[in-house]
Amino acid sequence: MITEELKINIGPQHPSTHGVLRLVADLDGEYIRDIEAKIGYLHRGMEKLAESRNYHQYLPMVDRIDYLSGFFNSASFCYAVEGLAGIKVPKRAEYLRLITMELNRISSHLLWLGTFLLDLGATSPLFYCLREREEIVKILENLTGQRMMYNYYCFGGVRKDMPDGWLGSVRDFCESFPAKIDDYEKLITENPIFLERTKGVGVISQEMALDFGITGANLRASGVKFDARKNMPYSVYKDFNFDIPIHQEGDCYARYQVRLLEMRESCHLIQKAITRIPGGASEKLKVKRTNCGCNKPECAFCGDETKVFFKKTNPLVLKIPTSEITTFVESSRGLSTCYVRANGTNMPDRVKWRTPSFSATQILPELCKGGLYADIMAILGSLDIVLPEVDR
């Protein structure tokens, strides 16, 4: 049948684009001939704003880069500044960071699961996923006072200690959660409609994934065993033995399976961390003083007025000498990189974010070309893109 060529504009305001992504598709009947992704609708200039704020003022903004998993960006920036200033984080604070990051990974994956299935037309999983996510959000709210933009980490540790019984509530959640995942699997994994929509759709081959710089669960679903938690250890991930789930197929279904396995693995990791968390007074949560050892008055760390700079004195004295650093953190979407360059003043000279969604959006047109129009949303959903993270 001869059909007319049609140009369709999807977005920027479209319920399934998880933000404001615009896709311009050239259609030949039901098939996509060409598709172009246009981004930039959520560009807030995060990197420019860093130039006019000091390190402490910039820290709360960092959570907004990826609002579904704020801890990871916070951690990335904190590790960068700590690396530049030579601050060592206490063990107890590192364990708290690990637990909160893994909880955040689960909550982010849960929201992904719900919205992905909503994109495919299944409504009920969203309610179940949000029910479990609400538990995590409440746990994190008890700890930080916020539901999404936590602002909990600070340079040299975390802001405050856990409230009474907090670890117990985390333990309860981790005990009940694997059974909930089993429920999801019963509901979704062998559903014929779901299989039809995801199996063999949007296949990313191993070479293609590496070529496009895809990271995270998307890369692991293509059979590459790469996880920054294992391969470039940060925090206390070195102390733990955990699996990195991989799948070989590289289609939407494999990405779904990898994320479910990751949630289970995170759950185990939290349980292990709870048993090993070192106790102690809340002073062990934060470094109060840094000293590079030279004891010269003009030094940025040992100088007269800079001895204590975290809680008591003015944060304006955190002046980092000229140097640069890149930190790698495995966020829930993939490898999140923060580059910070200091210039001796209390403001960073340059901050650059390399976000996993940016690369995942770039591969989207390649995956959609030649496929069916209805598959766009399945592919877009399975890649787990968050648009504020793409545009920064």
Partner 1 sequence: MSFEEFFNRHELNIIQEKDASDNDIWLVNQNDLLKVCELLKTDRLFNYEMLLALIGLDCVSHFEVLYSFYSVKNHKKLFLKTVLQKENPVVESLCGLYSSANWHERECFDLLGIEFLNHPKLERILLPKDWIGHPLRKDYKEEDERLSWNRR
Binding residues vs partner 1 (CB under 8 A):
39-40, 43, 45, 47-48, 83-84, 210-213, 215, 224, 226, 231-232, 323-328, 335, 337, 339, 341, 350, 352, 354, 358-359, 361-362, 391-392
Encoding tokens for residue 10?
Answer: 């999807």
Strand partners, 36: 24
Nearer to partner 1, 48 or 288 (CB): 48
Residues 391/22, Cβ–Cβ less than 8 Å: no
Block residue for tokens 């409440």? 138
Minimum distance from residue 158 beta carbon to partner 1 (Å): 21
**Rg (alpha carbons) of the chain, rounded to whole number:** 22
Nearest-angstrom CA–CA distance, 172 and 180 = 13
Task: Please name the residues in contact with 4: beta carbons below 8 A apart, sequence gap of 6 or more.
Answer: none
Nearer to partner 1, 36 or 196 (CB): 36
Nearer to partner 1, 52 or 123 (CB): 52
CB count within 10 Å of CB 47 equals 14
Minimum distance from residue 62 beta carbon to partner 1 (Å): 17
Alpha-carbon distance values, 73 to 152, 181, 197, 355 (Å):
11, 27, 33, 9
> What is the helix (H) or strand (E) element at residue 285, kind and residue range?
none
SS3 content of the chain, % helix, strand, coil (to 5): 50, 15, 35
CB count within 10 Å of CB 247 equals 18
Minimum distance from residue 77 beta carbon to partner 1 (Å): 14
Burial class from Cβ neighbours inside 10 Å (0-12, 13-18, 19+) for residue 327 reads: buried
Nearer to partner 1, 28 or 47 (CB): 47
Minimum distance from residue 365 beta carbon to partner 1 (Å): 11
Nearest-angstrom CA–CA distance, 215 and 147 = 27
Minimum distance from residue 215 beta carbon to partner 1 (Å): 8
Minimum distance from residue 230 beta carbon to partner 1 (Å): 9
Per DSSP, 63 falls in state G
Residues 289/296, Cβ–Cβ less than 8 Å: no
Task: Please name the residues in contact with 239: beta carbons below 8 A apart, sequence gap of 6 or more.
Answer: 276
Nearer to partner 1, 171 or 352 (CB): 352
Encoding tokens for residue 98?
Answer: 């690990």
Minimum distance from residue 86 beta carbon to partner 1 (Å): 8
Nearer to partner 1, 260 or 338 (CB): 338
Encoding tokens for residue 15?
Answer: 């319920």
Nearer to partner 1, 232 or 299 (CB): 232
Minimum distance from residue 151 beta carbon to partner 1 (Å): 24
Amino acid at 157: G
Minimum distance from residue 84 beta carbon to partner 1 (Å): 5
Nearer to partner 1, 84 or 376 (CB): 84
Nearer to partner 1, 151 or 332 (CB): 332
SS3 annotation, 329-349: EEECCEEEEEEEEECCCCCEE
Reduced to 3 states, what is the DSSP secondary structure of residue 28? strand
Minimum distance from residue 81 beta carbon to partner 1 (Å): 10
Nearer to partner 1, 284 or 341 (CB): 341
